[in-house]
Chain A
Amino acid sequence: MNEPLIRVTGLTKTLKGQDEPRTILAGVDLTLHSGESIAVLGRSGSGKSTLLSLIGLFDRPDGGQYLLGERDITRIAERKAAALRSSEFGFVFQRFFLLKHLTAAQNVAMALVNGQGWLPRRKRRARAMDALDLMGIAHLAKHKPPRLSGGEQQRVAIARALVREPKILLADEPTGALDTDTGNIVVEALRSATDRGCGLILVTHDHDHAAKMQRMLHLDHGVLAPAPTAVRA
């Protein structure tokens, strides 16, 4: 197998609220390779989204080690983390987070106007159109989000995540707000990204969607383990 894209070992995270500190992750180990897809299952509040926010550099772990390729980014500074989020990661969220005042194409292109390098408007538009085309919704480029269905909006969000050609795609319950059929289309769109060498981590409650990934992991009591067979079934 090829070199791992990311490798986390012994990752811990404790949330310090008003009450007693609550351990969310208690030593998570995870390796993701290029072209590999992993589903992370678990109950609500089990820490799936927290794990994804640590991997996506939205937040920093309390302990453990996080390697991106060979580079240790466990305690990376925010400025460098922003650059890595731009160059290495793509994110898809349950609630799409499309900007209502922009068209679908502009929503995709917004990921290219982030202060990490500069592309002229024509190139930005071309890349946004390519990403929308990949999702099969190029014809909706001029539509604003309120005129799109949930599935179409999520595919615009996936196009936005893919437009910078990330190495790692992180999807946090991307089908949570969609019906089963639309969810299947979205999961297939996400999975197809792995055909182009992208690593995918999908956080989901849906076992059917999880089953379409190469590996299924289960997060329970802050520890990540291969999903039990019963769950797989």
Chain B
Amino acid sequence: MMRLSGRFRAALIIGGQGIRARKLRTFLSMISLFLGVLGVVAAQAGQVIAHRALVASTELQMGVDGTQQIYVQSAESTGSIVMDTVAGRDDAVALLSTNAIIGEPDVRPVNEGGAPLDGSGGGWGPTMNCDPQGNCVDPNEGKPSGQAIELRVVALTGDVRQFRPLRLESGQWLDFGGAPSMAPRLVLNEAAAKGFAMYNVPAEMRFQGATANSTPRFTGVVDDGNSNPQAYVRSDELLNWMPIDVLTNPMFGTPELLAAPTATDFVETLRKKVEALGDENTLYINTISAEDMMPGEIQMMRWVFLGVSILVLLIGAAGILNVGLATVGERIEEFALRRAVGTPRLLLAGIVLAETLLTGLLTAMAAIGAGIAGLAAAGKLFGDRQPMLQNVTFPWEAGVAGVAAGLIAGVLGGLVPAARAARIPIATVMRA
């Protein structure tokens, strides 16, 4: 061990001396390599940042990696099955959605159908109330326009944030620990919060089919990545005011469940219960994979960028190789002398490799530094227009890729000169 350590240190010391003795040459060989490593760093950083932004957005709207996203086809008693099966489970949460209107009583909401309040996407029109024969009526027909907002309300049986990391912007998240409140506590998303800031309305909350209207309490605001107004509420606080069928109305979508990857028994139980209702009542299960969240375009761009970078990297390695061969030719007497004083061939090769590796490493450090500075500058210049660049941090994966690229180029450029240095015959050189 001591011997290896001594040789390693000797290689580093002599390699460092070699670099110091040829500063200009080392610098010149670093230039082309710098561009290659910078390309690798930029490609890796770009891909990681884009992926990170995409994953963050997808996690908010779908779920974290590995989450089982389960949809149950709505049918009579589906709601009861879901609620019974999920009761008492820490590893699964049911999300039952419906639309609600909050505001002045008996008025048409300003955004019928729960459309975005900024008007993007145009008006959606009213949410129609249809019977099984397809006869639909507008429940707000004849009502005057007033100060009310229609939004989607998601009733939760447990804390959904273990699966969807909703970011709390202000106030408090829902407390699932205590007894349910008679005045349902709502956590709004940002779009809904903006709407209620624009329309200061008396807060009555009404649902189609509810037995009574309730008075909601807003406790917090979260970022859920959704541009439509939406609110989250404990399911048991809503069920004080309405039957479960209101929350499983197929007009507003199908019941959704999120389960941990390990909750296989839960999924099996649910499947059996739903299948018992009839053939057409099946589960749709989607397991969320972070890897699948990478769109093909980003992957393609990444490979093209990496390919070009590797090409430049190879040119950089060829530069190191060229300089290395010339340097070994120049230093033939030095290497012969070192062998004469007892330096083993392997250490001589190690000295040359240490020089090219140190050169590669220094270049990688410079390229990573340029990458960090470039990213910070891009964040300052384009952060306003590109949310992806706001408060972005330099990904460690790009740093690792840069160091690896520098070291690989160092090895590729140093191997042949190292082998030549190790083969220099002492007698011939010292006698010449």
Contacts and interface: CB of A to CB of B under 8 A. Distances in A.
A31 B10 CA distance: 35
B142 interface: no
A113 B14 contact: yes
Contact of B347 (A78, A99, A110, A115): A115
Given A50-B427, A84-B342, A97-B333, 16 more contacts: A49-B431, A53-B427, A58-B427, A78-B344, A82-B339, A91-B430, A93-B430, A110-B338, A111-B341, A111-B342, A113-B13, A114-B342, A115-B343, A116-B344, A164-B342, A172-B430
A101 interface: yes
Nearest to A101: B21
Contact of A118 (B9, B347, B426): B9
A115 B344 contact: yes
Task: Please list the 8 inter-chain residue pairs (A to B) with the smallest Cβ-Cβ separation, ordered nearest first.
Answer: A86-B342, A118-B6, A101-B21, A53-B427, A115-B347, A58-B427, A58-B426, A115-B7
A157 to B, nearest CB: 10
A113 B338 CA distance: 9
Contact of B10 (A59, A102, A115): A115
B264 interface: no
B430 A58 contact: yes
A114 B347 contact: yes
Contacts of A172: 430-431
A177 interface: no
B90 interface: no
A160 interface: yes
A101 to B, nearest CB: 4
A53 B9 contact: no
Contacts of A117: 3, 6
A58 B345 CA distance: 12
B334 interface: yes
A85 B340 contact: yes
Given A99-B334, A117-B6, A87 B430 contact: no
Nearest to B14: A113
B430 A118 contact: no
Interface in A55-114: 56, 58-59, 78-79, 82-87, 91, 93, 97, 99, 101-102, 106, 110-111, 113-114
A78 B13 CA distance: 23
Most buried by B among A53, A101, A113, A172: A113
Contacts of B341: 85-86, 91, 110-111, 114, 160, 164
B425 to A, nearest CB: 8
A72 to B, nearest CB: 20
A85 B343 CA distance: 9
A115 B15 CA distance: 13
Given A59-B427, A87-B342, A118 B17 contact: no
A142 to B, nearest CB: 16
5 contacts: A83-B342, A97-B336, A101-B17, A114-B338, A118-B2
B271 to A, nearest CB: 67
Interface of A: 49-50, 53, 56, 58-59, 78-79, 82-87, 91, 93, 97, 99, 101-102, 106, 110-111, 113-118, 160, 164, 172
B20 interface: yes
Interface string B14-29: 1001001100000000
Contacts of B333: 97
A53 B431 contact: yes
Interface residues of B, number: 31
A102 B334 CA distance: 12
A99 B431 CA distance: 17
Contacts of A106: 17
Nearest to A99: B334
B344 A82 contact: yes
B345 A78 contact: yes
B391 interface: no
Interface in B2-52: 2-3, 5-7, 9-11, 13-14, 17, 20-21
B168 interface: no
A112 to B, nearest CB: 9
Contact of A116 (B334, B337, B342): B342
Contacts of A59: 425-427
B344 to A, nearest CB: 5
B430 A82 contact: no
Interface string B412-432: 000000000000011100110
Contacts of A56: 340
A116 B340 CA distance: 13
A189 to B, nearest CB: 18
B223 to A, nearest CB: 57
A58 B17 CA distance: 25
Contacts of A87: 342
Given A99-B334, A101-B21, A82 B427 contact: no
Contacts of A102: 17
A53 B425 CA distance: 11
Interface string B148-184: 0000000000000000000000000000000000000
B346 to A, nearest CB: 8
B344 A53 contact: no
B5 to A, nearest CB: 7
Nearest to A160: B341
Given A97-B337, A101-B20, A113-B13, A79 B344 contact: yes
A106 to B, nearest CB: 8
B430 A97 contact: yes
B10 A118 contact: yes
Among A97, A101, A117, max chain B CB count under 10 A is at: A97
Contacts of A110: 14, 338, 341
Contacts of A115: 3, 6-7, 10-11, 342-344, 347
Given A99-B334, A114-B347, A85 B13 contact: no
B99 to A, nearest CB: 77
Contacts of A164: 341-342
